[in-house]
Amino acid sequence: MKATWILPDGREIGLEVKPGLSLMEAAVAGNVPGIIGECGGTMSCATCHVYVADGWQEAAGAPSDFEEAMLDATDAPRLACSRLSCQLEMGPQIDGIVLRVPAV
Ligand code: FES
């Protein structure tokens, strides 16, 4: 399965992502700049913040209440399409997803 990260400078990084892996884990393994994943996916750092690209927001689903609260603590501005990528698990529904990495 595949996911693509668009960096603030417009560069695109496309990676193969195994089903069940979070998009934070995939980004860290693939050295996507700007995705840190400091807390290891326990929703306590917000350093995995991404913007879900247009056309993918419905498939990505809505954040949980706790994720919502953490999204208010991100460095980059929070947008309606903001998600913590440690909470996005690769699967058939989001195969091919495109994420934008916020500029900080
Ligand atoms: Fe820390 Fe996602 S990795 S909140």
pLDDT score, position 104: 77
Please report the atom of ligand 1 found closest to the CA of residue 43. 4
CA of 89 to the centre of ligand 1 (A): 13
Please report the atom of ligand 1 found closest to the CA of residue 37. 3
- Could you tell me the residue range of the domain that residue 42 belongs to? 2-100
Q: What is the pLDDT of residues 42-81, one digit of tens each?
A: 999 999 999 999 999 999 999 999 999 999 989 999 999 9
Q: Tell me if 27 CB under 6 Å of ligand 1.
A: no
pLDDT score, position 4: 98
Q: Tally the domains of the chain.
A: 1
In this structure, what are the phi and psi dihedrals at residue 14, rounded to the nearest 5 degrees? -105, 130
The CATH number covering residue 60 comes to 3.10.20.30
Question: Is this complex's ipTM strictly greater than 0.95?
Answer: yes
Mean pLDDT of all residues belonging to the chain: 97
Contact, 101 vs 5, CB < 8 A? yes
Euclidean distance between CA atoms 48 and 85, whole angstroms: 5
Q: In terms of Cα–Cα distance, which of 53, 61, 45 is closest to 101?
A: 53
CA of 17 to the centre of ligand 1 (A): 18
Q: Tell me if 74 CB under 6 Å of ligand 1.
A: no
Task: Convert 48-83 into a string of H (helix), E (strand) and C (coil).
Answer: CEEEECCCCHHHHCCCCHHHHHHHCCCCCCCCCCEE
